[in-house]
Structure 1
C-alpha cells in the first residue's frame, strides 16, 4: 500500500504544482478570463487518464491467461521506462518548472483559447497517463486481492491535493529539488519491483521461458500471508521465490539507476518556491 501511496503522492503533487503555477500566474497577471479554458484542459486530462486506467483494468479481462500475462508484463516494463524517464526529467526540471510553465502559458495566451486548453491538457495529462499506467502495473505486481492498493493511491493523491492547495494559498514552502530527489529514489525501488514482476508475467506467458529456475525460496521464513510478508510485498513488491532472471533484472535496473540518479546530488539545491509566489502572497 505504501508503494501505491508514494505513486499517488509523487505524481499527484507534480500535477497539483502544475495547476497551482498555471492558475496563480493567470490570477497575478489579471488574466482570469483565461482560467476557464485552463480548467477545461485540466478536466479533459483527468477524464482521459481515468478512461485509460479503466481500459487497462477492464479491456484485457476477456483475453486468455497467456495473453493477459503477456500484455501485463509488457505494459509493466513500459511503465517502468516511463517512470524512470519522469524521475530523471523532474530532477533536472524542478528548479526551472515555474519559469518553463510561465513561458508556455505566455505563448498560449498569445495564440488564443484553444492553445490554453492544449497547454493545460498537455501539462497535466502526461502525469495522469503515467500515473494510470504505473498504478495499474504496481497493483498487478502487489498481488493484493483487496482494495488496499487503490486506497493507497487515492490517499496519496488526496495528500498531494492538500499540499498543492497549501502551496497555492502561500502557507507552504516547498524545496522541489529535494522533495523530488528523495521521492524519486524511493520510486526507483518501487519501479524495480514492478519491473521484476513484469518479467514474472512474461515468464508465466512463456515468452521468456518458464518459472522453474528459482533464484531462492524463502516462503517458509517470509510467508506471503504474514504481516511482514504483506508489508514487504506492499512496499517493495517483494517476492519470496523469484526466478534467477527476475533477480538479475532487478539488480541490473536498481543499482545503475540509483547511482546515476544520485550522481549530481552535491550540486547546490534549488531555492524553495516561496509563499510570496502564490496569489495570496
Structure 2
C-alpha cells in the first residue's frame, strides 16, 4: 500500500500543481468566467484516466494464459519506460512549467471556447494516464499469486486513492497559501523511490514474459531465499508490496533490475546535483507558480 500511496501522492500533486497554476493565473488576470472550462477539462481528464484503468484491469480477462502474460509483461515494461521519462521530465522541466502553462492559457483564451478545455485535458490527462498505467502494473505485480492467477485486492487501490486525496488537499492548501512545500526535495526523494519501485515492476514484467514462454530462463534462478523470507510475513508483505521483491528471482529478472536501477539512479542523482536552486517565492499569492516554476 505504501508504494501505491506514494505513487498517487506524487502524481496527484503534479496534477494538483498544474490545476493550481491554471486557476491562479485566470483569477489573477481577472478571467474567472473561464474557470468552468478548466474544471470541465479536469473532469474529462479524470474520466478518461478512469476508463483507461478499467480497460487495463478488465480488458485482458478471457484471454489465454500466454496472451495475458504477454500483455501484462509488455505493459509493465512500457509503464517503467513511461514513469522513467516522467521522473526525468519533471526534474528538467518543472522550473519552466508555470510560464509554459500561462502561455497556453493566453493562447487558448483567444481561441475557441473549447481551447481551454483541451489545455486542461492535456495538462492533467497525461498525469492521469501515466498514473493509471503505472498503478496497474504495480498492482498486477503485487497481487499475483504463486499459481500465476491474479487475485483481486482493494489494498493497492486504497493506497493510491489516499495518496491522490492527500495531493488534492495539499494542492488546495498551496493555492490558499496555507502551506509551503519544498517541491525540489519532494520530487527528488519521490523520484529516487519511484526508480526503485519501477525496477521491481520491470523485473516482474520480465517474469511475466518468462511465464508466458516469450523469454527463457524461468527456472534458472539467481537466488532463492523462500525458506528465509516468508512472503506471508509482515516484512515479506512489505518487500513484495513496496519493492515487488520475489524470494525466488531468476537470473534474467535480477539482471533487468540491476541494469535498470544502477544507471537510471546514477543519471537521476547527477541531474539533481546539476539542477540550479529555485529562487524563493515573492509572495503567498505567487506560491503555486513559484513552487512549480
Q: 2:278 aligns with which of 270, 273, 276?
A: 270
Paired residue for 1:153?
160
Equivalent position to 1:230, from 237, 255, 260 = 237
Is residue 178–residue 269 contact of structure 1 (8 Å, CA) maintained in 2?
no
Residue of structure 1 in register with 2:62 after alignment: 62
- Give 1:200's match in structure 2, choosing from 202, 207, 225: 207
Say whether 1:14 aligns with 2:14: yes
Cα separation, 1, equivalents of 2:165 and 2:98: 22
Specify the alignment match of 1:42 in structure 2.
42
Distance 1:103 1:83 in 2: 26
Structure 2 counterpart of 1:254: 261
The number of aligned residues is 279
The match for 1:167 is 174
Shift of 1:115: 1.1
- 1:85 corresponds in structure 2 to 85
Cα distance in structure 2, aligned partners of 1:59 and 1:265:
39
* Deviation digits for residues 112-132 of structure 1 (CA, Å, limit 9, x no counterpart): 311111100000000000000
Classify the secondary structure of the residue corresponding to 2:218. Answer: coil
TM-aligned CA deviation for residue 272 of structure 1 = 5.2
CA shift digits 1:122-153 (9 cap, x unpaired): 00000000000000000011126432111110
Q: 2:291 — aligned with what?
A: none
How far apart are the structure 1 equivalents of 2:271 and 2:79? Answer: 25
- Check the 8 A contact 1:94/1:176 in 2, yes or no: no
Per the alignment, residue 134 of structure 2 pairs with 134
Q: Mark the runs of 5 or more structure 1 residues left unpaired by the alignment.
A: none
Worse-superposed segment, 42-51 or 210-219? 210-219
Q: Report the Cα offset of residue 59 of structure 1.
A: 0.8
How far 1:278 sits from its partner (Å)? 5.6
Structure 2 CA distance, aligned partners of 1:192 and 1:242?
13
CA distance in 2, matches of 1:278, 1:76: 36
The superposition leaves residues 65-109 of structure 1 with CA deviations (integer Å, 9 ceiling, x where unpaired) of 111111000000000000000000000112222111111111111
Q: Quote the residue 2:148 is aligned against.
A: none
Query: After the TM superposition, which residues 109-128 of structure 1 pair with which residues of structure 2 at under 5 Å, given as runs?
Result: 109-128=109-128
Are the aligned partners of 2:22 and 2:105 in contact in 1 as well (CA < 8 Å)?
yes
RMSD (Å), alpha carbons: 1.4
Q: 2:142–2:240: 8 Å Cα contact kept in structure 1? A: yes
Structure 2: tracts of 5 or more residues without a match: 145-150, 289-293
Tell me how far 1:210 sits from its aligned partner.
4.5
